[in-house]
Chain A
Amino acid sequence: MGAVSELEGDLDQVNTDAAIEVRDLRMAYGPKRVLQGVDFTVGAGEVIALLGPNGAGKTTTIEILEGFRAPSGGHVRVLGTEPIRGDERWRARLGVVLQSWRDHGRWRVHQLLHHLSRYYEPYANPARRPFDIAELIDAVGLTEQAGQRINRLSGGQRRRLDVAIGIVGRPEVLFLDEPTAGFDPQARRDFHDLVHRLSDLDDTTILLTTHDLDEAEKLADRILILSGGRIVADGSPDQLSRQISRDAQVRWSRGGEHFVHATEDATGFVRGLFEQYGTEIGDLEVRRATLEDTYMAILKREEA
């Protein structure tokens, strides 16, 4: 399927350093067109957050990249291979974090991780050794639960085990579909530290989907917004906010009265305020558009 409808012509110009390349990716379920020409590239070692409303096709996109689903058309490469044709050697270089439920309930945490890690032994790469299990269990904060049966773990502990399973083979590319759904704030923070470690120390390329914009901003080098089956925004959180509005809102009070002013040059404006009124100024607040403002504005623009 994919080979027939692949884009012709410019294949030789494709950047070979990219970990993930997607060109004109299309996916239809019967008459329902979920993806209508998705384009993006992820460089090796980049951390990308894929955002979008429910039903925008985030999970479909990730499943196509994981090789779990055949696309209707387009050019897709992960580590230089078309995912649906990826062999076991290719599979060994990927990590997939699944939303598990109750599988392997009777296994013990270290037992399952050790067993699953052994699948990577024939593909061992001296530069990227599989994780030491004790070290991995510690990295996801499950040391106290290492000997426990998996069906005795709490929801958050299970999700951390899912992450550990996803990275046990020390993948070059890691896919995370809503990894922190159901995490408490502490578990979320620990997870963020882990993602930073994977990205900084191991140079892992990471693609994650999330509904948590704060999380996306903290973790991602670059944000992709998927809406209506297309990528409607692609850039760093800062670049995206500047696309929508360069203005910052300045709020202050003077003589019991409250004021708001939108300006591109917040620093200059505030300097002017102080020069004019000095100590009369109170309650000063300068606020740039947050990622949430930007996200909502981009979606609104797309719907219009």
Chain B
Amino acid sequence: MNAALHAVKLGLARGWIEFKNSLTNPQDVSFTIISTAAFVVVIYFQRDATVPGTTFTLAGVTLPSMLGMLAAFNGLIGAMSMITVEREDGTLLRAKALPQGMLGYMVGRIALLTLQALGSMVILLAAGLLLLPDLAQAGLGGLLLVLAITLIGLVATLPLGAVVGSLFNNPQAVTGLSMLVVGGLVAISGIFYPISAVAGWLQAIAQAFPVYWLGLGMRAALLPDSMAAAEIGGSWRPIETILVLSAWVVAGLLLAPPILRRMARRESGSLMEARRERAMQRVG
């Protein structure tokens, strides 16, 4: 039995168990429902507005963009908060005490975050198809493209989120700060309104990060080709999308393993104890 392969299998089992656990957790379920409901409300109010110069609904453009945002959000914030919380509560240390435990842990986390991202996207997509029958014309090919972009988006953002999470000690601070940063990125990345509405230099910044390209990719997958006219350069820019997202994938996969290994190596009971004391002070 190959021990590393065995640990990968255990990691997948762990991801599945934890996904099932989160499905039966009222707090998790209500969080997912409320946040998805918020997106559905946005779509509902935009359903009668049309994109200027076309007969296509504004909501039809916003929905794919939101799918792209969800992929980035789950990868970045999800991985970040998971790592900080689980360093503090000892999950990580427990993994370290097992043979091949860290490998199993990391695989489990990737599996869980992927399942959670897909879960919330399926809910949003289902609601979108009910409200916006137009989207159905994208067909099976379009949905498969959505799945592919989601997976690339997660691979591009998960390692980054994990690295940032491993560099900070305070879960609340990390989550708050990263919400601000990612929220800012979303605001300039043409998710809720076309990117042409923001200043040129902000467009340039947005195009350096994955959020914009994930939104663009999702629009390319689900919208008719005529809608590309509204994008920068009047095109879906598939080559650029693949290049930028691949660059983030490569950067993440190069950076994350050594940084996470270093973090794992330094993990010990007394460090965790110190974090726990600090957490107790925050609560008390």
Question: Which A residues fall within an 8 A CB radius of B?
Answer: 59-60, 62-63, 66, 68-69, 88-89, 91-92, 94, 96, 98-104, 106-107, 111, 115-116, 118-123, 165-166, 169, 177
Contacts and interface: CB of A to CB of B under 8 A. Distances in A.
A62 B17 CA distance: 32
Interface in B11-26: 13-14, 17-18, 21-22, 25
A119 B21 contact: no
Contact of B14 (A68, A115, A169): A115
A90 to B, nearest CB: 8
B99 A165 contact: no
B47 interface: no
Contact of A119 (B86, B98, B270): B98
10 contacts: A68-B96, A91-B99, A96-B97, A98-B93, A98-B269, A100-B89, A101-B89, A103-B90, A103-B94, A120-B99
A68 B267 contact: yes
A167 B97 CA distance: 11
B90 A88 contact: no
B269 A99 contact: yes
A71 to B, nearest CB: 13
Interface residues of B, number: 33
Interface string B1-12: 111001100100
A37 B44 CA distance: 71
Contact of A63 (B100, B104, B269): B269
Interface string B154-191: 00000000000000000000000000000000000000
A104 B91 contact: yes
Given A99-B273, A120-B99, A115 B89 contact: no
B237 interface: no
A122 B96 CA distance: 17
B237 to A, nearest CB: 43
B168 to A, nearest CB: 19
A283 to B, nearest CB: 47
A122 B6 contact: yes
Task: Give 9 closest A-B pairs by Cβ, nearest first.
Answer: A92-B99, A103-B91, A122-B3, A68-B268, A88-B99, A106-B21, A96-B97, A122-B1, A103-B90
A80 to B, nearest CB: 17
B137 to A, nearest CB: 41
B89 A102 contact: yes
Contacts of B96: 68
B101 interface: yes
A93 B112 CA distance: 29
Contact of A59 (B17, B100, B270): B270
A122 B2 contact: yes
